[in-house]
Structure 1
């Protein structure tokens, strides 16, 4: 298991340039109060034009089956204002590996909600965005100060903010960089950035443990979503050329297939798709692939490589998505790896090697640092398939997928 070692606190000459980078699982209250008084949020802006959208907003709720979300008062009403992704799948269980997957294209065997620090040579979407200076940010409700790395806050009593629902805080490549760390902010910063027109082009929004439904229920989180989004959807700055995705980390029932209720809103949804359903097979990895295709970014060379793109974006790029036979697909366990507790997956000390030379769905090659880091090594998994599977454990083996190319040629395969 990766050793959780504390890193030396980064120091800077100016308080505005400082970020608290202690990696203690439970920092002292004095340390938290000191950081609250000195650490300032960082809100870079950019305007890199995308092929299908200029801003992407990722909002996650918790642990709800598709049918339960579809039966709420508010979520179906919101979905009808945009596009329902009827065949969108989470990656695994429990929560944290799904959040990890959304940032790095892999779970690294994670089968738990533990305190993890993933080595700095593992690339994330932040590295993809930096190739074109695309501004990104996270907004975590209840975060005590920008870049807080504790396991939760407050550290006792009812849950509010939890680290396991914060994707980029898991990665040393982010936490060791003072500027990057300060781009992980709380909801006060969201409304400040909204009012001052300095929202990033990519944002990940996590409500607290009450509002996301984890410690309440889908009725409560559905009501929160309606309250949060209704006013924002009337804000032209927020919605113009923006794609807003509301989804869940996973289903609440582990024994079913992990198909989660997901819809897209915002000014970037094509008019002819408003109020309709899209049956294309998607996963959390499809979001990374679609971001890459939209802004001409490379792939991480992991499960984002073969993931399907948002359908109308795929048409713009000429990529043909795969159809996946989901009758035997469950996506309830992850593959083996170094972040496993040897519970739902198998612990293995080696970090999985990404592909460095595959042709990925986004069509822009592999991130140069990934190619350099893993040069000459063979990819651990077949990252070119539209869904993750593991031959060693048998996870999702025997699932069929196919597509018909524009020239009429049929490409098909079976995970094995």
Structure 2
């Protein structure tokens, strides 16, 4: 069995032993029990000021059409307290490629919910955050111990925790680092970090398979969300200068446009936008782009590069978002790539090359590690587009987009 080398780090004068963690798809019950007794969570703290928010909380629910979610009384009540993003889109189906996209800026052709380990030369948002030492963490309900890499937990019976809903655990660049691995924690640690005021500046929160609606319904997930957030919204430490996003990984119906119910809450929502809606076109990639613009971070050079920014953040940076004609857009499939099962996309062994030069919507260049790793290669796709498309497969082609710059110049295009 392959295990990663134990390390010892020093934090705040304390020596913390890092237990070995297994990358097995189904580790033994004895191994899981041993890790539960030995692996300690790591909760770094930072205070890097952002342009529009100082903390971002990303909460995802599962597989629900926009109108179904919008009709849920609990979610509707929460949305009224913040800003509804009425034109926010998931990027494909099924679940896992959307979670992968949220961390890596691409689906890499993934059209399945399989056990994946993306190679260490694929950069993620963790690498972006580390350029400015911005503390990040994931909180996965029912994760048996920090950094657990198994396919699910428990390993038999009803699903509770599943790897496919855990973005950063998919990437070797995270899991090969024992310290980073311990930043992927469970809800017990979330409440401990909240109590001791050591929450990170970026966090991704995944409820269990019942609470997120995957193995239940919107009534259950809506009630869970309301109960979870109502108390937190009264906590000044949690909400001060914080932007909380509640969204869905994808729609439940594959034949309609993949427009998912999404809203923003927290102290960082501008006062004049509370109780309103924003019709700007966004995708899961817009979150990465907005995080980069907010904290002055580089781009991954993938689909985050051309993604629209949160509208008020774009105004602060001077970036002009694109209007996208969604009448012919579905976002229900992904481009070809090495993680495809030849189901919703085409298998191709080569890894798509990102942009290494050019200007992205966040305005801060491209991550140096990306430029070094992929130098002299031409970008595989038009990553400067505000939405993903693939000319080879015809996925999302024929969609018009345009914007009017501040000097009056009109820029327009059609995905081909």
Normalised by the size of structure 2, how large is the TM-score? 0.98
What secondary structure does 1:272 align onto?
helix
Contact 2:322/2:386 (8 A) holds in 1: yes
State yes or no: 1:53 paired with 2:53: yes
2:259 is matched with 259
Cα deviation 1:65-87 (Å, max 9, x = unaligned):
00000001110110010000000
1:361 is matched with 361
Distance 1:342 1:274 in 2: 44
* Cα shift at 1:9: 2.5
1:223 is matched with 223
Listed as ranges, the gaps of 5+ residues in structure 2 are 10-14
2:310 is matched with 310
1:347 is matched with 347
* Cα shift at 1:20: 3.5
Contact 2:101/2:284 (8 A) holds in 1: yes
What secondary structure does 2:307 align onto?
coil
1:9 is matched with 4
Distance 2:304 2:79 in 1: 25
* Cα shift at 1:13: 5.2
* Cα shift at 1:7: 4.2
Contact 2:3/2:20 (8 A) holds in 1: no
Contact 1:19/1:182 (8 A) holds in 2: no
Cα deviation 1:232-256 (Å, max 9, x = unaligned):
0000000000000000000000000
Normalised by the size of structure 1, how large is the TM-score? 0.98
* Cα shift at 1:16: 3.1
Distance 2:63 2:186 in 1: 22
Distance 1:72 1:16 in 2: 45
* Cα shift at 1:122: 0.2
Q: How does 1:133-152 map to 2 (within 5 A)?
A: 133-152=133-152
Distance 2:124 2:2 in 1: 20
Contact 1:7/1:21 (8 A) holds in 2: no
Distance 2:301 2:92 in 1: 19
Cα deviation 1:180-236 (Å, max 9, x = unaligned):
000000000000000000000000000000000000000100000000000000000
* Cα shift at 1:22: 1.2
1:213 is matched with 213
1:164 is matched with 164
Distance 1:334 1:234 in 2: 40
What secondary structure does 1:264 align onto?
strand
Distance 1:333 1:195 in 2: 42
Q: How does 1:78-93 map to 2 (within 5 A)?
A: 78-93=78-93
1:195 is matched with 195
Contact 1:60/1:249 (8 A) holds in 2: yes
Distance 2:147 2:19 in 1: 7
Distance 1:374 1:118 in 2: 16
Listed as ranges, the gaps of 5+ residues in structure 1 are 1-5
1:284 is matched with 284
2:12 is matched with none
The CA RMSD over aligned residues, in Å, is 0.9
Distance 2:126 2:45 in 1: 14
Contact 2:21/2:35 (8 A) holds in 1: no
Distance 2:340 2:79 in 1: 36
What secondary structure does 1:100 align onto?
helix
- Aligned residue pair count: 411
2:94 is matched with 94
Distance 1:84 1:31 in 2: 44
Contact 2:323/2:402 (8 A) holds in 1: yes
State yes or no: 1:294 paired with 2:294: yes
* Cα shift at 1:343: 1.0
Cα deviation 1:45-65 (Å, max 9, x = unaligned):
000000000000000000000
Closer/same/farther in 2, CA of residues 256 and 20 from structure 1, 3 Å limit:
farther
1:3 is matched with none
Contact 2:251/2:260 (8 A) holds in 1: yes
Contact 1:19/1:146 (8 A) holds in 2: no
